[in-house]
A = this chain, B = another copy of it.
Amino acid sequence: MRKTKQISNVSQMLSMYLKELMRLPKDKRVSTTEFAKKFNVHPSTVTEHFQRLSRLNLLNYVKYRGAHLTQEGIHQGELLMWKHRILEVFFMEFLGLSKEDACSEATKIDFFISSNVIKLLCKKMNHPRVCPCGFEIASTYCEEKS
């Protein structure tokens, strides 16, 4: 009954957490201070966000022990990263941005842009399999019929 391809109730900030989480090894648990440094924020703030992600069933968070993404969290994180990376490819290949600029520009809008636009962009870019940073682009959301 539930749609799978939607980010439910995730704020922009939470989406940033989700994306960062996706870049980390999925087996290891992440600590709050580790994250606090990345986001230039106090540890207690991270705790708060982890708890929120946990309430949304996106993060498996155990007090004092760190956290890792749930299946659902990975799923939503993959959607975000797919958007992010397709945008990166587009910004580099079509607009000629540098790798760094492509990433920062993608970061500004990946949360807001629709799946449909990304899907069309993906097609136009010939369904890239890797992003400019060398990371693989998960094909879960790409509907290539090759």
Contacts and interface: CB of A to CB of B under 8 A. Distances in A.
Interface of A: 91, 94-97, 101, 105, 108-109, 112-114, 116-117, 120-121, 124
A117 B94 contact: no
A99 B124 CA distance: 19
Q: Which of A94, A112, A116, A121 has the most CB of B within 10 A?
A: A112
Contact of A117 (B91, B120, B121): B91
User: Can you tell how many copies of this chain the complex includes?
Assistant: 2
A107 to B, nearest CB: 10
A95 B124 contact: yes
Nearest to A108: B112
Contacts of A113: 105, 108-109
A95 B97 CA distance: 20
3 cross-chain pairs, A with B, having the tightest CB-CB distances, nearest first: A95-B120, A109-B109, A109-B112
B108 A114 contact: yes
A130 to B, nearest CB: 22
Contacts of A101: 116
Q: Which of A105, A108, A117 has the most CB of B within 10 A?
A: A117
A33 to B, nearest CB: 30
A112 B101 CA distance: 15
Contacts of A114: 105, 108
